[in-house]
Amino acid sequence: MENTKWVLASRPDGMPSGQNFRLEREPCPEIGDGEFLIEAAYLIVTPPLRMWMTSGGMTGRPVPLGGTMRCGGMGCVVKSNHPDYAVGDLVSGDLGWQRFAVSNGRDRTPVQRVKRRDGVSTTALMHVLGSGGRTAYFGLTEFCRPKLGDTMVISGAAGNVGSVLCQLARMQGCRVVGIAGSRQKCDWLTGELGCAGAVNYKEEDVAERLAALCPRGIDIFFDNVGGETLDAALGLIAQGARVVLCGATSQYNHDGGWYAPRNYFNLVYRQAEMHGFFVGNFAGRYEEAASRLAPLVASGALKYAEDVLDGLERAPQALVHALTGEHFGVQLVRVSGAADA
Ligand SMILES: NC(=O)c1ccc[n+]([C@@H]2O[C@H](COP(=O)([O-])OP(=O)(O)OC[C@H]3O[C@@H](n4cnc5c(N)ncnc54)[C@H](OP(=O)(O)O)[C@@H]3O)[C@@H](O)[C@H]2O)c1
């Protein structure tokens, strides 16, 4: 067996491209005692991968030049010297942009066994019941403190985290307004996902549209994109608002300096709060999120969209799509049929 992997060839200046990566082939890695070999089935390509290429994000440790590009994914155990992992187990974690990965179940982002659930597809286990869904779940339950009738605005609303959150917040009795980057995505938000309104930030003035859609101000702003969108929302917060910082996708290509919000003093005028959070701090409660979300997915109450690019060789293209919004739904790359039931 041969392994194929994308390594980082150079660091990008602004938007990354295929030129920043190099496809390499090597013999399939051997496993030692206490290790197992995973064959990747799907990778989930999201905006923060861009930070691994330069700053390393919150770890401060970027992927070294020549190193395998990092990425969350799902796959199957195909060889095992580990007492707790058997051939055929479905696992997820940081598999990287490669066909085969070796793990001991504890390293970097620990690879974890994934429980199959009735009525939930293999890929949905990875996003709605995985990183995106649990980020939405803990962001909402721990930081948003929604009240019946609250107006909640969500940026990156048609994305992995945002689309789950729009629906959970609506189920909690919030009036949800989503911000997304195309007419098609905005129609999906107000149609399928039940948002009360949507703003197309690429074609509309965000502050003006939000003011029209939120006449009594914004009670909760959940931010996935940062920059000018965060600023526009800060300008419209209501008394006692909660501003929850989840991501800053609009800034990840700006290695030279991030946009600083000007309207932050509204937090004082409105006696509001702004709180950042990291979903990894809830690792001990992931099962709680998955078990709450699973029946909603199985019953069809929680909807999602996926955009699947076929073949590991398309991973760089998937990253560009995640950073430009060219995709519709969670951006996945199908690497192999290893997890097909
Ligand atoms: N705090 C945590 O623990 C945590 C955990 C997971 C994720 N996150 C963060 O949450 C955010 C969302 O993650 P995700 O996985 O759900 O990604 P995602 O939203 O599924 O995918 C990226 C989306 O971002 C939008 N986008 C791209 N460039 C943009 C720009 N310049 N301005 C505004 N929107 C832009 C695009 O949608 P449009 O077409 O609508 O532009 C694109 O579809 C990311 O910033 C991520 O880093 C944080």
Kindly report the three-state secondary structure assignment for every residue of 31-88. CCCCCEEEEEEEEECCCCHHHHCCCCHHHCCCCCCCCECCCEEEEEEEEECCCCCCCC
DSSP 177: E
Tell me which fold the domain 132-280 belongs to: Rossmann fold (3.40.50)
> What is residue 1's predicted lDDT score, i.e. its pLDDT?
82
Give yes or no for residue 135 CB within 6 A of ligand 1.
yes
Atom 29 (ligand 1) nearest CA: 250
Q: Which residues contact 184 (CB under 8 A, 6 or more apart)?
A: 328
Spatial separation of the C-alpha atoms in residues 97 and 316, rounded to whole Å = 9
* Partner residues linked to 330 by β-bridges: 306
Give residue for tokens 């998955």.
290
- Supply the residue whose CA is at minimum distance from atom 45 of ligand 1: 247
Q: What is the pLDDT of residue 111?
A: 85
200 lines ligand 1 (CB under 6 A): no
Tell me, what DSSP letter sits at residue 146?
-
Burial label for 319, CB within 10 Å (0-12, 13-18, 19+), is buried
Query: Ligand 1 center to residue 225 CA distance, Å?
Result: 6
The confidence score (pLDDT) of residue 235 equals 98
Radius of gyration of the chain (CA): 20
Decide: 265 in ligand 1 pocket, CB within 6 A: no
Ligand 1 atom 30: the closest Cα is on which residue? 250
pLDDT the model gives residue 108: 57
As given in the structure block, the two tokens for residue 6 are 């994308």
**Per-domain residue ranges of the chain:** 2-127+304-334, 132-280
- DSSP character for 258? P
Confidence at residue 211, expressed as pLDDT on a 0 to 100 scale: 98
d(CA 205, CA 199): 8
Tokens of 85: 């992992």
Distance 162 CA to ligand 1 centre (A): 8
Place of tokens 């300008």: 235
Query: Is 132-280 in the same CATH topology as 2-127+304-334?
Result: no
C-alpha span between 265 and 98 (Å, rounded): 46
CA 133 / ligand 1 centre spacing (Å): 13
> The tokens 């070796």 sit on which residue?
102
- For residue 276, give the ligand 1 atom closest to its CA: 1
Is ligand 1 within 6 A of the CB of residue 224? yes
Q: Residue 308 has what pLDDT?
A: 98
Select 2-127+304-334's CATH number: 3.40.50.620, 3.90.180.10, 3.40.50.300, 3.40.30.10: 3.90.180.10
Q: For the chain, 341 residues long, give each residue's pLDDT as a single digit of tens.
A: 899 999 999 999 999 999 999 999 999 999 999 999 999 999 999 999 999 999 998 889 999 999 999 999 999 999 999 999 999 999 999 999 999 999 998 875 678 899 999 999 999 999 999 999 999 999 999 999 999 999 999 999 999 999 999 999 999 999 999 999 999 999 999 999 999 999 999 999 999 999 999 999 999 999 999 999 999 999 999 999 999 999 999 999 998 789 999 999 999 999 999 999 999 999 999 999 999 999 999 999 999 999 999 999 999 999 999 999 999 999 999 999 999 86
Alpha-helix residue ranges (DSSP H) falling in the chain:
49-52, 122-126, 131-138, 160-171, 183-190, 206-213, 227-234, 266-269, 286-299, 315-324
The separation between CA 224 and the C-alpha centre of its own chain, rounded to angstroms, equals: 9
Q: Is the CB–ligand 1 distance for residue 251 below 6 Å?
A: no
**Ligand 1 pocket: which of 58, 161, 222, 223 to mutate (most atoms within 8 A of CB):** 161
Give the SS3 label for residue 27: strand
Counting from 1 in the atom list of ligand 1, the atom nearest the Cα of 44 is 15
Give the model's pLDDT for residue 109.
Answer: 62
Tell me how far apart the alpha carbons of residues 233 and 270 are, in angstroms, rounded to a whole number: 13
Q: Is the CB of 179 under 6 A from ligand 1?
A: no
Q: Is 163 in the pocket of ligand 1 (CB under 6 A)?
A: no
Specify the ligand 1 atom closest to the Cα of 227: 32
CA dist 101 and 69 (Å) reads: 12
Nearest-angstrom CA–CA distance, 263 and 248: 17
How many residues are there in the chain? 341
Count of Cβ atoms closer than 10 Å to residue 19 Cβ: 10
| Cα 323 to averaged position of ligand 1 atoms, centre (Å) | 8
